[in-house]
Amino acid sequence: MFNCCERNMKKCFFPESKYLFKISDINDLSLNTTSPISNVFICSSCHHLLVEPKFSTCGHRYCSHCIEKMIESQSSAICSANNCGQMIKNNEIYPDFAVENNLNILTNIVCHNETKGCSWKGNYVSYRDHSKTCKFDTLQCSHCSIYLTNEFTQKEHLSSCPEMLVPCVFKNFGCDTMIRQKLIQNHVQSSLVKHLQLLTDFIPTFIIKNLQDKSSQNKSINEDKNEDLCREQKSLKKDILGHSNLFNEEYNKCMKYFFDKSELLASFIHCHGTYLWCIDEIDRLYREAKGATFKAQLVESSPFYTSTYGYKLGLKLFLNGDLDGFNKFLSLHITVMKGNYDPLLNWPFQYSIIICLYDMSEQHHHVIHTIKPKEYDECFKQPQADTNPYVQITNFCPLELVFGKQYAYVQNDKMFIKIFISFEKYNENVIKQWIEIQSNGYPVNKELEILEALHKQE
């Protein structure tokens, strides 16, 4: 099957894939780039060294991950090798143990991303793991089309991809809706009555079914054996209680899943480097803050992300001030929180944060504060606890201005605070002009276009 000869180091190139690996001390296995036998080690899809090789009935080989991806959306796919064109069916794919045994003896393999800068080198067993985590790989999500760094990241991404279709969290109770992950929260809220009805129907159906099952079993018991009948009745009550507990566990699991996802979905709602916080019932909250005697009252924002897979931040607002601003200033604290994507990000956080308190009068006398991370080292490092120390702006705005009649920082019992992450280093003149366009109602992408144009003019 193979030429039994050289043990010398060889360097093999596969032109169609631009793939490179080195082989040394192969125990009588010799590969030759001019021989068609060299292609048995190459995936017909990704054109890299096979990982967990499988073959179809047409004889062509694929990585396990590649062929699964080809047929994941349907029961069959078309073989892409050398214009083969044969149909590949899910039930006609087999592990290729013979080729895998030969692969296992390869050493000094160079990563297929060597030309991109990856310096990894090792044997085939190590290569299988490395190929799934190589930081120089670029994979595209089939649902949202974003590019990911490696297969491991792709699998992590799929658990939270906003465009991926997932079943409703009330699936086990009868809701068969499939919906994009980013719309789960909207679906649960808009279908509240339907879900409550499903739960209402499920409980008696669940209990009655188990009662009927047990009753049919009881019919086989001799009625004269009262002792056995009493024992069976006790067992029936115990089973009903047990099933009731199982129902509660399933329901709690369902709701936990929903609330866990709700926090995650915040990353899809608040992105593009901006977050607009609307605080309602300002009058009540301010009265409660004024009446607090031992501890300053605060209002917390929902956690938000700087982008879909960015840094996670949170805000605290003290309507009657905090620390040296107590009873004199509106105080605002901001923190970096432990997020889902921290291992993928650069640390410490280094972008300026611009905070805008909206004046809703015609004067548009917005209050602006800029936070520069270099001045607060401990606050912007990678979080080890749930939150980093807060950056405290204790004198954010004088209370006499906030609640005075000259401006309208509070209107219709609402207050608006906007956070803008300055990913570019805009100067103060550009920021001032950005403030002026805040009341124009532009979408975020339009604001960024204007900022970029102003920045170029400067």
Answer yes or no: is 268 within a domain. no
Output the average pLDDT for the chain: 75
| Beta carbons of 321 and 399 less than 8 angstroms apart | yes
Helix H or strand E segment including 456: helix 444-457
How much is the pLDDT for 291?
Answer: 85
How much is the pLDDT for 206?
Answer: 58
Answer yes or no: is 154 within a domain. no
Q: Quick one: residue 25, left, alpha or beta (phi over 0 = left, psi -120 to 50 = alpha)?
A: left
Across the strands, what pairs with 353? 371, 421
Average of per-residue pLDDT across 337-358 = 91
Coil vs helix vs strand at 308: coil
Answer yes or no: is 29 within a domain. yes
Domain that holds residue 347: 274-423
Average of per-residue pLDDT across 366-390 = 92
Instruction: List pLDDT tens digits, range 55-82.
Output: 988 888 999 888 888 877 556 688 878 7
Coil vs helix vs strand at 58: coil
Q: Which one of 113, 137, 161 terminates a domain?
A: 137
Between the ranges 74-83, 146-155, 250-259, 354-363, where is the mean pLDDT highest?
Answer: 354-363
Q: Which one of 263, 290, 325 terminates a domain?
A: 263
331 and 417, same domain (yes or no):
yes
321 and 254, same domain (yes or no):
no
- Total number of domains in the chain: 3
Answer yes or no: is 20 within a domain. yes
Instruction: List pLDDT tens digits, range 172-226.
Output: 778 888 888 877 777 776 777 677 777 767 666 655 555 555 555 555 444 445 5
330 and 370, same domain (yes or no):
yes
Angle between helix 226-269 and helix 192-218 axes, rounded to 10 deg: 160
How much is the pLDDT for 28?
Answer: 35
Angle between helix 124-133 and helix 151-158 axes, rounded to 10 deg: 50
More confident position, 420 or 162? 420
Answer yes or no: is 307 within a domain. yes
How much is the pLDDT for 448?
Answer: 75
373 and 305, same domain (yes or no):
yes
Across the strands, what pairs with 276? 418
258 and 233, same domain (yes or no):
yes
Q: Which one of 263, 293, 328 terminates a domain?
A: 263
295 and 258, same domain (yes or no):
no
How much is the pLDDT for 456?
Answer: 78
Q: What is the CATH number of the domain that holds 65?
A: 3.30.40.10
What pLDDT band is residue 319 in, cutting at 50, 70 and 90? very high
411 pLDDT higher than 60: yes
Q: What is the CATH number of the domain that holds 305?
A: 2.60.210.10
How much is the pLDDT for 412?
Answer: 92
| Beta carbons of 449 and 349 less than 8 angstroms apart | no
Looking at residue 383, the DSSP 8-state letter turns out to be: P
Average of per-residue pLDDT across 258-263 = 50
More confident position, 85 or 229? 85
101 and 24, same domain (yes or no):
yes
pTM of the entire predicted model: 0.45
How much is the pLDDT for 194?
Answer: 78
Pairing of strands 299-300, 76-78: unpaired
14 pLDDT higher than 90: no
How much is the pLDDT for 204?
Answer: 61
Instruction: List pLDDT tens digits, range 227-255.
Output: 555 665 556 555 555 555 555 565 566 55
47 and 114, same domain (yes or no):
yes
Phi/psi at 91 (nearest 5 deg)?
-90, 10
More confident position, 64 or 431? 64
What pLDDT band is residue 353 in, cutting at 50, 70 and 90? very high
Looking at residue 79, the DSSP 8-state letter turns out to be: -
